[in-house]
Structure 1
Amino acid sequence: MNLVRRASAAALAVLILAAGACDSGGDAEPESAQPDKVTYLTAVGAFGRESYAWVAKEKGFFAAAGIEVDIRPGSGTTENLALLASGRAQFSANDLSAVMIVLGNGKYRQDVRAVAAIQQRTLNSVTALSGSGVNTPRDLSGRTVGGVRGGAPWLLFPAYAKLAGLDPRTVTWVGVEAAQMPKLLATGQVDGVGQFVVARPAVEKAAGGRAAVVLPYSDVLTDLYGNALIASTKVLREDPDLVRRFAGALIDGLLYAIEHPDETGQILRRYVPTADPVTAAAEVDLMEPYVRANGVVGAFDGARVARAVAILRGTGIITGDLPTADLVAFDYVTGQVR
């Protein structure tokens, strides 16, 4: 068949298909919409406390919301916010207090907003080991603490120390990779690590069962939230519905995770082969009361956010004004008792 005949045959086929569509009454199925593609950064690494994002992916919550998510291990507050501001990611999880510090001191204020509370109470702590002589905040004087540079425990430590009666200048912080912190603590290369309270199982496993001593920042820093879902202001402006869908799906994953910690550990292992599912499950189990504090999941309280800013300003860790509207977009998650 020559090219003319091929073209004629193709045209005839189009006419036949069109006629068939008319004969069927126009009931042909529309093409399914393509999912929105986004990049999400965990707060730090791929630990059990970050596993709810993979749960949301595995259980189909993101897919049901019409979203395809590339989940990448984050590197702490300052690095994550820089990636959001540059457009290389659209969403991240980060400690809200650390975000307050960065924005309150003038960086990324036009670039990011918090849209959902992942934990209703701060998880930050300094963690040591039993027998090290560190049992209270003041015992950290003259000691060395390892932490992720730009991470929440390091950024927030001066405020914690001042309220706990410790001069923060007497403590030396050194930068370490998040995955190396338990090992460095277990081998005595640091006296403590800036860590989330739910990391206790990983610390004790690395230390061969030796008990961890956890100094929670929440003992003196009241009203502080834990991690929050952070969105770039670009995606907030251009597609607010995407933000609502993403936040809802992530919170569904969060709730499923804390209600099924053992399954969550296995899901994390599926996506992150180096993860220990037992340790991950233990972290998720410890996180449950922080997620559901007062029965509220996901939502922020504006008055409480303002009090948290005032606390940090009072310690001098935030030097400028920080209106809550420059920090949180309150209209994307409705508070629910679940």
Structure 2
Amino acid sequence: MSQSTKKITGLQMTFMVILFEIGSTPMFLIGGKVRQDAWLAMSIGAVAGFLLLLLYLWLQRRLPEMEWTGMLRFGFGRIAGSLTAIFYCGYFAYQAMRNVRDLGELTAITLLQSSPMSITMLVFLIIGGYAIWKGAEIIFRLPEILLPGLMLCYFILIGLFLLMKSADFRRLMPVAENGLRPLLNAALPDIVSFPFGQMIVFLLLWSLWEQTGVPSKYTIGAYIGVSLFLIFMVMLTISVLGPNLSHCSVLPLLEAVRTLSRLKFIERLDILAAIMIFIGIMIKMLIFFFCSVRIASILTNKSEKIWAMAVGAVIYGTSFIERNYTQHISIGLGPSLKVDVIFQVVIPLILALAVLLRGRKGFIPPGR
């Protein structure tokens, strides 16, 4: 990609990292199986995810003029690298499908109970496809518009919880009463896979930065900030609902917001919370969708506009495979997280080793 086509600023990259990592994470109680220690499991996952992020940044710095497809070809060879890239294309499309289904289910539960879920999911997918059609510059402008308002809404909710004394942080006690092993089991690999390991998508996005090199400072700062925010949101949810109810709840954040129903001057705050979650899921779906399209476009030398329609059709069709929301959640927070390890950890580690070996043998990374 020529320097003239790199139009993504450092601020846009920072905002995208924050909004992407928030995504649908507050929708669930990540690490809820360790009850009141879920925030500790989230902290361990964030630290492990940070180490993974350093690996991704190292790969990008080592091969600065390449995106993920080019790195795979350089490390594994043209044929094996292209085949691996095809698997990543499918993997990102699968993740986009999960977010589309999340949007459809959440809409049916909170806002439009009488509307067919197939229609609402199609609308969200068309919006995402249109953004991809317009290009990366438009996609990265969205967080500039959405993130300030989203964070303002989160801070308002947090302020209301504290003001109304709905949050009792004594519910976070006792701390680590069963030792370290349950926390590690909860964090590794599940919390690393979701949401922190999903940062792998930025190996397809960092090359869009308007400056030469890698936006490490912007990315690391955004990662640390959003990790602390997510840890605090887990603590807040548990302190409002208690460890048992928050673990059993399907949508704990919405349940926590509904505890503010005794407010006299404002009603249906759960709708506000649902819209906030919509924004995060929509951005995450859009990025996964875009990365799948980008890989397909690079591999075939065809326009991203053409592949946006083809990949979008596949995502929409596969979003109906899971029979109901219960099955959707059980797969997404179960077997799916184990498969994520292959794409987020195993392959990048093997690639890093291959890059090191090729570097020692004097191979020069090819141009884009």
TM range (shorter): under 0.3
Structure number with greater Rg is: 1
* Higher-helix-fraction structure: 2
* Higher-strand-fraction structure: 1
Higher relative contact order (CA 8 A, sep 6+): 2
